[in-house]
Structure 1
Amino acid sequence: MTQTSDRIPAYTPDHPPVPDSDELRARIPGWGADLNKEDRPSVPKLKFLDTGAHWDFPERQPEKWPRERSVEHRFLTPVFGTAQPPSGLSGVMRKYAYTFSEGRAAHWLILLYADRVDAGEHHLRSLLSMRPDNPITETGIKAEFTRNGLRSRFGRKRVDVHHTWMDPLIVGGPWIVSVYLIRRLFKRKR
């Protein structure tokens, strides 16, 4: 991808142009408070080290399907994850979330709900595949009894003890509701 802008793009070894200090100080309250290098504890870490990179701009990873793109960035990062391509309703929700700016709550809330929908899709897929998830071993219930899970909760000031009463409802609730609905369906068919 070629750059058409006069600005120096991200992911290059060049430093972007720095605006005038006086202009920034007038516009942003407190700007420049850390300009004196003796006041900054991270100064020794800021030294440029030659990394040996043989490129100015990294080679771009090919896109196998259209990726979600943030509206804040002109193009996709040179390297990105491909392990979980968007699919189903959760994929549609994720694509829709990227129509919003990353600074808006809608962007992040839609992504959070898309994760929950994705988990539900996978649970449903496992039920329909006739090899459902095993709630006893995969949720950690077995470890509560075999790995001192219950005993570790008492006599200590653990924060998670306050919501322990909810865990069976959150973990077991969907399974109980699923079994109940399946039983009602079979009773109706009879």
Structure 2
Amino acid sequence: MPYVASDHTKKYDPEALRQRIPGWGVDSDPADRPSHPRERLDPEATGAHWTFPERQKPVGRRERSIEHTMLTPVFGTAQPLHGVSGAIRRFAYDRYSEGRTAHWMLLVLGDRVDAIGAHAKSLASRRPDDPITESGVLSEVGHHPISSRFGVRRADVKHTWLDPVIVLGPWVLAGFVVVRTVARIARR
């Protein structure tokens, strides 16, 4: 639920809480809190104010976390969800809370499915992606690739062995699928 400017003070009996919870209210006295002067709520002194903005009209379906009762007043519409990746992302928003790992793993899966679709679309185009030059591997040849990795505390050294798998793996897999498909068609 987005913040709405209103009175959010809780009603409770301080004496009952002090008796029930040991140490409750230790910082109730502003004189005991070192941060008290910064805690004053006086928006007029700084000129700060906030009112609920006019709501943007949703066109079509928008994703919203299940924790929130309504959409935020303003939201992006530049990249609407589409295809299988969009269905995966919608499922993540409809089914799981943002506090659950499943929500985020489904969003990552949707991103990977979208990336695979983009790679497949690239293979079908006249100018397919070039993973060798686009990954920057060739640029390291002239810039001391061995000595720049050892003796200096580079963070990427830990996962360097995984980079070829992540960058070239999908291409090798796609090539394997294409070769198998062509071989099956040729046998028929």
| Cα separation, 1, equivalents of 2:141 and 2:22 | 56
Q: Displacement of 1:15 after TM fit? A: 4.5
- Say whether residues 1:106 and 2:102 are aligned partners: yes
TM-score, with structure 1 as normaliser: 0.74
Distance 1:183 1:165 in 2: 27
Structure 2 residue aligned with 1:126: 122
Select the residue among 75, 80, 86 that pairs with 2:81. Answer: 86
163 and 62 in structure 1: CA distance in 2 versus 1, 3 angstrom threshold? same
Output the CA distance in 2 between the equivalents of 1:26 and 1:69: 42
**Selected match of 1:20 from 5, 12, 26:** 12
Give RMSD over aligned pairs: 3.4
Deviations 1:92-117 (A, max 9, x none): 11111112222222222211211111
Shift of 1:31: 7.3
Q: Deviations over 1:45-89 (max 9, x none)?
A: 976332466xx3101122122101111111000111222111111
Number of the residue aligned with 1:159: 155
Q: What residue in structure 1 maps to residue 179 of structure 2?
A: 183
Letter in 1 for 2:2: A
CA distance in 2, matches of 1:146, 1:166: 22
Unaligned runs of 5+ in 1: 1-8
8 A Cα contact 1:94 1:111, kept in partner: yes
Distance in 2 (alpha carbons) for counterparts of 1:127 and 1:33: 66
Alignment check: 8 A CA contact 1:143 1:149 kept: no
142-151 or 69-78, larger mean C-alpha shift: 142-151
Return the alpha-carbon distance in structure 1 between the equivalents of residues 20 and 126 of structure 2. Answer: 63
Q: Is the 8 A contact 2:2 2:72 kept in 1?
A: no
Counterpart check, 1:141 vs 2:133: no
> Which of these residues, 21, 44, 47, is aligned with residue 50 of structure 1?
47
- Classify 1:169/1:52 alpha carbon distance in 2 versus 1 (closer, same or farther; 3 Å): same
**Whole-angstrom CA distance in 2 between matches of 1:29 and 1:143:** 64
Structure showing greater Rg: 2
Residue 97 (1) aligns with residue 89 (2): no
Q: How many residues align?
A: 180
Cα distance, 1:30–1:71 mapped onto 2, change above 3 Å: farther
Q: Please name the residue that 1:171 is paired with.
A: 167
State the match for 1:65 in structure 2.
60
Which deviates the most, 172-181 or 139-148?
139-148
